[in-house]
Structure 1
Amino acid sequence: MATANKIEHNLINEVNLCSVCLEQYKLPVTLPCNHSFCQTCLAAHIKSSCVNLDPPLGFPCPLCRVFIPAPGRIGQYSLDLWPTKFPENKLLSSVIEKGLLYCKPCQRDEEEVIAESWCQDCSEALCHTCEKYHKKLRPTSHHVVVSVTDLSVSTKTPFSQSLEICEAHDGRKLEMFCKKHSQPCCDVCVTQDHNSCSGFCQLEEVDENLAGPKMEEYLKRDVEKFCSTIEQTIQEEKANMGAIDDMTEKFSNELLELSAAIIQTVKRLEEKHLDELSKLSKESKSKLQQSVDCMEQRLQYLLYWKEILMKNESRQETAHAKRLLSCSRMKRICEDLQNLNYSKLEIDIQAKLLENAQKLKNFTCLAELISNEHLKPVKVIPERNDLATATIKTGGSLKITSASNIKGGDFLSNSKLLLADNGKKSLILCDVDGVLTVLQEKEIPGSPWSVCCIEKYEVLVTLPYEEKVLRLDSDSLEIKETISLECRCYGIATSGNVTVIGTRDSVVMFSGGLKEIRSATLSSDLSSTDDVALDDENYVIYSSHNKHTVRKQDKAGNVLFSYTHEKLKAPYGLDVNRNGEIFVGGYDSDNIHILSRSGQLLRILGGIKKPKWVKFQNDTNRLFVVDLDCNLKVFQFTAPYN
């Protein structure tokens, strides 16, 4: 008993003080580095560490300074909630509450026996006797029981356990895998977020390509490119800070040389300008340092998860499910980071001595100080030629026997495909998950040409011969509004408050909604401009099927590129994916051309007879094509790993 009391006394003296406030712990929480702090102390530290970061991705441990990533997904929780998402150190809480650490099972029998061990799985203290029975009983025989003096083990939470927990639904275990979205799911995810999906399997049954060594290598290469881009941006911004110092020193010397030859008035003005220069330099470097801090934290965040991925990769005994979870987490982290805004700040301080500086008595200043700031977008998405080198497999086909002349279509918010049958004056709703199926045919008052989903519950349908656009409810397909235009409206694309329409004779752009007067005619030199699209930069893409041309322009009408090719004849069908890559069908050349954002040919898909409409589904990497005979065909793009 004396030995136990001594152990307990030493334990209390060593661990009951928070290293931040140096007072007894108040609701101790534990970080992944295994250091514990008061929840309020940790909250204050997080707030001070992330004050200039946008968005904050983590913080250094107050004790060991190791980088701690933010809980959950990027931006999921506010800074105020971060401390509450780290686990409570129940061992410390038990010691603080009672002063002595008593055996929990014995307390339930109204006995007070000092504990010597701690069960990680039960988060309970055990005396020597209860520890023996704890290890003998079958339900608890596999639990990890350690000495209460070994706090580094007692409070440790393995990373592999956190991988198995759903971030969206706290405490739920990830057990299923959605094939459609390539994403692990808990039971709540399946019933709520993926209730319209049909392809699920157990984690252990997922294809090797999604979680095997090839995928790990593929992700590792992407992360390395990602890190390299951020590191380069950091170095360039630090070099910019050095250039500011050089410029500051140069201009200071010029002022000093001039002031040495001038009377007392120069001294007064010299002091004024040096003060202005110092202030401007400090502000400029402060802004650059804030930008560097943001980039460095994103790099730390990425390196942290990269290290976790490489640890799992290096362990040959790592279970397939854990490899999958690790890969999935890494993939999603990359996607979340890529969705952040990236820009490189450049500040150029310019100073020019006035030509008439010699006549100082007539001037109130000697120079002009200007700080030019330019935010240049940094492309952090790894440069890869997925579409140029991807493996393409046929993903199914459907002969739509009831259709006569399909001209356009789009995916609704529920992932259903809505096609426009110009010949039958109807809309055709299709299910494209699993077996391709026609779900519904809806007659409308006109001959539809193009379909464009504009909001979660709305869709636009063009009627070129009637010079109208219909606004429909995407669930019921009932007409909510009919908009009359003074032009034949064939193809249509929208982004924000901008709408672009192909009128066959030209391409026109509307702003503020279709009811507004057209704001610009973007093209009038090309005819047969039926198909139009808008990319993620709001550049307009359109094709001319009699000139065999695909063109991209900005809103001001400046041509960014014009694409022609001997193997592209009579382009029909046009689409652009979220990466800016362009798909155009060659009606008379029986193929589909895939172009890069800049208009470079990535590849040609041959053997597709008379394509009339194309659409790329970003979430599934599938290309949908309708040909002259109303055959709906699907092509699955699979990224290469070698």
Structure 2
Amino acid sequence: MAVPGRKMPERFSSSSTMGSDEDIKVYCQPCDHDGPRLPAHGYCVDCREHLCQTCFTFHKRHTLSRHHTLLDKNNMPQTISSTSVHPSQPDNLTKPCDKHMKEMIKFYCQNHEALLCSVCVTLEHTRTSCKVNYIPDISAQVINSKEHQVILKGMDTITEQCHKKSEDVKKITAKSNSSLTDVLADIKKFRTEINQRLNELERQAEDAAKTIQQENNKNLKTVETTCDDVTKSLKTSSDAIKHLNTTKQADKLFMELKLAEQMAKDYEKRVHHLSVYGVKEYNFRPSKAISTLLGKERSLGTFTEKSLKQSNPPTAVDIKTRQTSHQGKICVKTSKDKDTCYITGMTLLTPDLLIITDRNNEAVKMVNTRNKSVTDQLQLDTVVSKVTSVTSTELAVTLPDKQSIQFISVSSNKLEKKQTLKVDGECYGFSCCQGKFVVSFQYPAKLLILDTNGTILTTVRGGNIFRNPVYVTTNTNSIYVSDRNMVTITRLNWQGEVTGSYDGTSEPRGITLSDDGTVFVCDWERNVIEEIAGDCSTGKVVLKDLSSPCSVCWCAETSKLYFSCCTREDKHDNFLQVFKLS
């Protein structure tokens, strides 16, 4: 089918001389362009072309031309008009179709608002289902149209948005980069402070060693001087005795012998009391606290308010056989308490300062582990569940009935309430690590990872993972959750992905991490405390024949394990048990 605007063959060009036989007899223009010359049988008003009988019949059937106006042989123009040879509008449709690269886009479907080629129209947008227009027939109406103005305005708006977005990101990026420059400076400053402190400790150790050396040298000098004096004195006396004996001076020899005898006794005592046994050999034993810190920590610190790529989890830790010894117990019942204690949470601020939560008496208590006494008690007048240390002078507890977290400061051995943080549900399990909180909820069962402002970073839904996740503990690599209903200890990374699970307990409750990466678990039903590997692969009972252990806390510096009991009996529940594990 010929398309208006297409250049005609030279035989129909304007340069042909009109009036010849060819001018009198008209031929099929499509066939004359591509095939044999055939006489015209009709005429298409829309296409402005003469058609042979075959093209005329096909024109009435084709999807694109079936609605065109056709004139039969008797009514058709008897000459080729100049408008057919020279269309008023040139053919500018040269954009190829995305689907059919050899075809040009020439049509527009109003139903689908799509630009089409003739193949698209034939296969996908027939006139029976779509309203298809030939672009040259409708294009004139878009010039200076409202649509033209609206589209340009929309494009300008998007351009402005892109410019604004680019500027905003540029400003934010500059601030971020500037903050990271400050972070790098802080890291260097922190490292300098660490170096200065280590240098100071090194100087102290060196001074102590030098003091001992000086004492040793002083003692040596005293011994050498004394022994030298005694030796000289004894030799002088010995020489005199030998001379007097040789010369047979009996009187003088007698007196010299008696003097020598007394002098020998005096010198013997003097030599005997010389400090020889006080001189010792020495070995260096590194500070356990520093060694533990260096072995446990994986970084100098964290970049707060930024998403962190966690380092790879540590490899499985073999559980060593431990020697255990009972170190006594600590009474945590006070005159303010109205009920039997129910210690559900505990955390250490220092080796001598243990913080516990007493659910029954709605209190947070400060325990001096050295004196084995409660030194302060903060009443909260609501159920308090778990506790975690935030800094060396700040801690936080979960208040499930109030669906909130209560921050508490520690100053001058006093506990004082600070701000509260609302959370989404009844919160129970609680742990803080590297400026992030991990909080567990029971109804529905879930785990939230928050920043210290309460912004939710990650949500872990219960599903097949949790049913009753009450106890939580964390380190820089992993999160461990104790679930008494699922009867599991579940290990997750900081993206909330499960990386391990241990199901060797009967009713797990309180959990705490040791300094070498293992996990101590209170098995309430079996009356034992079990130690499981950091990858949750194996476990071993370390304490048995206990009284329903409930909550537990490990002190790396002293290698002591503190735990509470839940028996509903005063003789057990009002005390913390203390064991040393080595």
| TM-score under structure 2 length normalisation | 0.46
